[in-house]
Amino acid sequence: MGARSCIGQQFALIEARVVLVKLFQKLHLKWVPGQKLGMLDRLTVRPSSQCLHYITERVKSA
């Protein structure tokens, strides 16, 4: 890491996870049909084409 690393980096990573969990609790994601899924191996792994989704709000059950 070195002397110039961010002192808040670990907190920011935890906070990002919390935000993602909160979003996934309120939203429902569904793949758009007919997509070809593949991965590109580079410095980071990424989709070979666009990942299209339908995003809807989750319905609260009683």
pLDDT of residue 16: 94
pLDDT of residue 39: 80
pLDDT of residue 1: 61
pLDDT of residue 47: 76
Q: What is the pTM assigned to this prediction?
A: 0.54
pLDDT of residue 62: 60
Question: What does the buried/exposed string (b/e) look like for 4-33 if buried means 16 or more CB atoms within 10 Å of the residue's CB?
Answer: eeeeeeeeeeeeeeeeeeeeeeeeeeeeee
Judge whether 46 and 62 are in contact, CB under 8 Å.
no
Tell me the pLDDT tens digit for each residue of 4-61: 888 898 999 999 999 999 998 999 888 888 888 788 887 787 777 777 888 898 887 7
